[in-house]
Amino acid sequence: MNKIKLATVWLDGCSGCHMSFLDMDERLLELSSQFNLVYSPLVDFKDYPEMVDVALVEGAISSVEDEHKIQHIRKHTTLLVAMGDCAVTGNVPAMRNPFGPLPILERAYHENVSAQPQTPSVIVPALLEKVRPVHEFVSVDLYLPGCPPAADTFFTVITELLAGRIPDVASLTRFGA
């Protein structure tokens, strides 16, 4: 049997979804017999593969880098899952939207810094005016709300996906769950 190529992606989120994913604990071993983790912050592959079967995307789109990445991922993924509230709604990262990016940078790089306060202009990608959920940039095949979605939710959803079925997400999780 061909193993499913699974990727997990970490955009603007707290990695809590990944932690919850890991919270599947020993069940992860059971599932991993059916997939190869081909790209993830949890493993060491540097490049996104040519084609991925399922990608779990954590985090909102906050910067030009996020935007670039998600476009690339969409192109090279069959089934894209928005994983967790940040990817689905914008969630906590989007709380800056009423104020815009400048006050956030001020707060982080000036107000809270004692030595040489300066806003980084190189290496760090520029912030977008508004933080937006993944589906405002690319089409999303499955939404998995929750902050984070529970380990049980991950287990059911991934089991279903591996069996080639689309799970009824609303019965499992919700915004903020």
**Cα 33 vs. chain centroid, distance in angstroms?**
23
In the complex, the smallest distance separating the C-beta of residue 130 from another protein, rounded to whole angstroms, is 7
Q: Smallest distance, Å, CB 3 to another protein?
A: 28
- List the one residue out of 177, 149, 134, 171 whose CA is nearest residue 19: 149
Residue 92 is a binding residue for another protein (CB under 8 A): yes
Q: Which of 82, 128, 158, 161 binds another protein (CB under 8 A)?
A: 82
One character per residue 10-49, x = contact with another protein (rule: CB under 8 A): ----------------------------------------
- Give the start-end residues of each E strand in the chain: 4-10, 35-39, 52-58, 61-63, 77-83, 127-132, 142-144
Task: Tell me which residue has tokens 């990727």.
Answer: 7
CA atoms within 13 A on the CB side of 173: 25
Q: List interacting residues with another protein (CB under 8 A).
A: 82, 85, 88-92, 94-95, 97-99, 130, 132-133, 135-136, 140, 143-145, 147, 168-170, 174-177
